[in-house]
């Protein structure tokens, strides 16, 4: 496994981050534990979860699955850089959502209990909270750091302007602020190249792409469809229909260079300077193994240029839309 520091921090994380969103809703606990064991054996030391994961009506179940895995001992917790998130409501009671100082305190304590640990390495805001001032957010996070309950703070689904706001206020408090931003980013969805990535690079914030295969569209979906291994319906079918010519060209090119589409999609992300680690959410051991192979793929300048031809990206703003 290859490693990189997360943003400007001294925290060393694997180039693949194990996402756990499927643990519970899609993957049973026993299989989830096996996948985490395998990830650790392959030196994936970066695990990501959230207090809302677990499925409708089962908020927090995924953290509980991870917590019971930690409880098995064997150095599991000590070897893992643990990331979790807060923002969405976990019940309908007032104040149990967002990133108010009250919910930051309550949500952190609840996650620690479910995860069966006394600290979280990376505590992330799952969404921007426009109703809470940054002074309140940072004061609450500073308290958690002082208490030893969290070590670093990250964001998710923030705009470039939000990153700038966050860091500006953190600087006035002599606080580290954000070290990571978790955004949707893949060959198909490249919107963050306009402003989020430039802001992140300026402030030393590492990018953690979620949905690196864009819901499976970059994982060889057309071949699977032809082979009868996957049937697309509803939103998945509509999403494919919108980019079918590009996906067809992409799969043909992957075949031409002798690589699997899903692995090329991850390798492309790993080649982007701002990216620390794509978040992969395997439902099976085979999917985890595929992600691991992507780390060993080196795409040439010619490969990268051809992928940009198939899925054009964006220039940095304002050059993207101005002269």
Distance of CA 96 to the CA centre of its chain: 23
The whole-angstrom separation of Cα 176 and Cα 205 is 11
CA distance 23 to 39: 14
For residue 37 the two structure tokens come to 């064991």
Q: 273 to each of 4, 269, 290, how far by Cα in Å?
A: 11, 9, 22
**Is 119 part of the annotated catalytic residue set?**
no
Closest to 292 in 3D by CA, of 31, 35, 6: 35
DSSP tag of 4: E
Q: What is the pLDDT along the chain (323 residues), one digit of tens a residue?
A: 999 999 999 999 999 999 999 999 999 999 999 999 999 999 999 999 999 999 888 999 999 999 999 999 999 999 999 999 999 888 888 888 999 999 999 999 999 999 999 999 999 999 999 999 999 999 999 999 999 999 999 999 999 999 999 999 999 999 999 999 999 999 999 999 999 999 999 999 999 999 999 999 999 999 888 887 776 666 667 788 899 999 999 999 999 999 999 999 999 999 999 999 999 999 999 999 999 999 999 999 999 999 999 999 999 999 999 98
**Per the structure block, which two tokens stand in for 184?**
């949707």
Distance of CA 97 to the CA centre of its chain: 21
Question: pTM for this structure?
Answer: 0.95
Which parts of the chain fold into alpha helices (H)? 29-41, 61-70, 76-79, 101-115, 134-147, 160-172, 196-203, 221-226, 234-256, 261-270, 285-294, 301-310
Decide if 83 contacts 115 (C-beta within 8 A): no
Q: Which of 53, 123, 185, 203 is catalytic?
A: 53
Closest CA to 14 of 210, 300, 275: 275
Going 31 to 33 to 38 to 43, the CA torsion angle's sign is positive
**CATH H-level superfamily of 3-310:** NADP-dependent oxidoreductase domain (3.20.20.100)
The rounded distance, in Å, linking the Cα atoms of 300 and 298 is: 6
Residue 132 structure tokens: 């809470």
CA distances in angstroms from 249 to 127, 220, 310, listed in the order given: 34, 11, 7
Q: Which of 257, 250, 264 is nearest to 293 (CA)?
A: 264
């Amino acid at each position: 496994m290859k490693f990189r520091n997360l943003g400007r921090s001294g925290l060393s994380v694997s180039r693949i981050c194990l996402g756990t969103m499927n643990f519970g809703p899609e993957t049973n606990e026993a299989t989830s534990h096996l996948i985490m064991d395998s990830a650790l054996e392959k030196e994936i030391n970066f695990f990501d979860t959230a207090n809302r994961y677990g499925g409708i009506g089962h908020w927090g179940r995924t953290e509980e699955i991870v917590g019971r895995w930690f409880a098995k001992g064997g150095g599991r917790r000590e070897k893992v850089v643990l990331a979790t998130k807060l923002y969405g409501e976990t019940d309908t009671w007032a104040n149990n959502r967002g990133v108010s100082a009250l919910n930051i305190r309550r949500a952190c304590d609840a996650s620690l209990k479910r995860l069966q640990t006394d600290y979280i390495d990376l505590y992330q805001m799952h969404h921007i909270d426009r109703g809470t001032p940054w002074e309140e957010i940072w004061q609450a996070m500073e308290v958690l750091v002082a208490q030893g309950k969290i070590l670093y703070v990250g964001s998710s689904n923030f705009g470039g302007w939000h990153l700038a706001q966050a860091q500006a206020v953190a600087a006035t408090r002599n606080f580290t602020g954000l070290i990571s931003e978790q955004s949707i980013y893949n060959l198909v969805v490249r919107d963050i190249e306009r402003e989020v990535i430039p802001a992140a690079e300026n402030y030393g914030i590492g990018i953690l792409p979620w949905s690196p295969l864009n819901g499976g569209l970059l994982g060889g979906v057309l071949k699977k469809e032809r082979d009868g291994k996957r049937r697309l319906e509803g939103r998945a079918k509509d999403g494919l229909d919108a980019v079918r010519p590009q996906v067809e060209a992409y799969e043909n090119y992957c075949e031409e260079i002798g690589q699997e589409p899903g692995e090329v999609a991850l390798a492309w992300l790993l080649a982007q300077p701002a990216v620390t680690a794509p978040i992969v959410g395997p439902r099976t051991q085979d999917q985890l193994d595929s992600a691991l192979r992507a780390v060993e793929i080196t795409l040439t300048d010619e490969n990268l240029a051809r992928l940009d031809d198939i899925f054009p990206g964006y220039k940095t703003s304002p050059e993207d839309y101005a002269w």
